[in-house]
Amino acid sequence: MRRAILAAVVLLAALGIALPRTPFGQRLLYGGPAPLPGKVPVPVPGTVPPSPALKIAFLGDSGAAESFSRVLALVRLERADAVVHLGDAAYEGETAGDFWGMIDRELGHGYPYFLAQGNHDLEQWRGHAEHAWAHLRQSGAVTDSTSLVDPRFALVFRGVSMLFVGESVADDDPRRIVDRYARDPHIWKVCAWHKNQTAMQLGGKGDWTGWGIYESCRQMGAFVVTGHEHSYHRTRTLRSTIEQTVDPTCADAKRVCVRPGAVPVFVSGLGGHSVRVQRRCLPATYPYGCNGEWAYAYTANQGAKFGALFVVFGDGDARRGRGYFKNVDGQVVDEFELVAE
């Protein structure tokens, strides 16, 4: 049934027929824009390497409470070179000033800190964008943006290319991803945004983004990192995000591949606000349920604590990387290898 609906969605898109929308502007069926119809360009070969052993922390859903400061202290102790924050920086009763004040105290005003827009950030986004822009400008990252008031932006930080999508996915975002990454010669490319599709998280979230942005990133060989669901989990290498099809040539849970057409998807939402339970793909023990797509799950069911995903790019070789999730108690709960092919 799911495949039949998807086929209808793609056919409508190919015919130029718009999908129906709810009163709130969200597309029905899959929550956002569908994948681009027809073939997409083959991306140029990745030849530009990252800085050796470049370490980036990925975390989201932090809020600005004391628990977030513990995660920031972990980032500092791990000597991460930058943070990609996956949205929801401040919740009710917290301000953008509270959030950025904690970052400045723990990491420094000039620390490379890149913020994706979350749904709880909308009301205070101008304040968030002002602080985020100051951090981006001082980080040495290269971007063609002139501010972050528009939450859709791209940057290159020390040889890693990153593209950010706003909280509300725009109809042209799938095309924007392809246009950007098809001509991007960097070995490592990352797509970062806040919300998910239901099948791309293990909690209770609905279809919010549509499959278009997931599939465009996969086709371009950019791995995906999101937040929104307050837990940590990751897939194996997927050759289809829509069908959650594991690439049989790189199916190992401890070794994930990144290449045009096949990438892993990560959710890192244990930044400090709360910890949620696993609702999908039960049982909560490895190898889990559903289609065998999940490589690791760290939710309330597994006794999860706050922490961050760390990825080391260029780990001894420009095309090799290493990832691990470490919690605030200093425990490494997940480790894996990445290979850019």
Instruction: Give Cα separations from 2 to 5, 148, 287, 341 (angstroms).
Output: 5, 37, 23, 31
Helix ranges (DSSP H) in the chain:
2-14, 66-77, 96-106, 125-139, 173-181, 211-220
Within 10 angstroms of residue 168's Cβ, the number of other Cβ atoms is 18
Instruction: Record the tokens describing residue 272, joined without a space.
Output: 């400090």
Helix, strand or coil, per DSSP, at residue 301:
helix
pLDDT at residue 8, rounded to an integer = 52
Please give the model's pTM, rounded to 2 decimal places: 0.92
Angle, CA 195 vertex, CA 278 and CA 198 arms, to 5°: 45
User: CB-based contacts of 339: which residues, under 8 Å, 6+ apart?
Assistant: 250, 255, 256, 257, 258, 319, 320, 321
H-helix or E-strand spanning residue 100: helix 96-106
Question: What pLDDT does 29 receive?
Answer: 54
Q: State residue 100's pLDDT score.
A: 98
d(CA 200, CA 66): 29
**CA nearest to 135, candidates 83, 185, 170, 93:** 83
How many Å apart are CA 30 and CA 15, to the nearest integer?
18
Residue 174 structure tokens? 């799938």
The Cβ of residue 90 has, within 10 Å, a number of other Cβ atoms equal to: 25
Q: Rounded to an integer, what distance in angstroms lies between the CA atom of residue 85 and that of residue 61?
A: 8
Cβ pair 232, 226 in contact under 8 A: no
Tens digit of pLDDT per residue, the chain (341 long)?
445 545 554 444 444 344 443 333 334 457 899 999 999 999 999 999 999 999 999 999 999 999 999 999 999 999 999 999 999 999 999 999 999 999 999 999 999 999 999 999 999 999 999 999 999 999 999 999 999 999 999 999 999 999 999 999 999 999 999 999 999 999 999 999 999 999 999 999 999 999 999 999 999 999 999 999 999 999 999 999 999 999 999 999 999 999 999 999 999 999 999 999 999 999 999 999 999 999 999 999 999 999 999 999 999 999 999 999 999 999 999 999 999 99
CB 238 within 8 A of CB 244: yes
Report residue 269 CA to chain centroid gap: 10
Residue 194 DSSP label: S
Give the largest Cα separation in the chain, rounded.
Answer: 54
Q: State which H helix or E strand residue 214 sits in.
A: helix 211-220
Structural contact between residues 338 and 331, judged by C-beta atoms closer than 8 angstroms: no
Q: What are phi and psi of 272, to 5 degrees?
A: 140, -5
Q: What domains appear along the chain, each with residue ranges and CATH number? A: 50-340 (3.60.21.10)
Packing angle between helix 173-181 and helix 211-220, nearest 10 degrees? 10
CA 227, CA 256: separation in Å to the nearest integer? 20
39 Cβ contact list (under 8 Å, min separation 6) = none
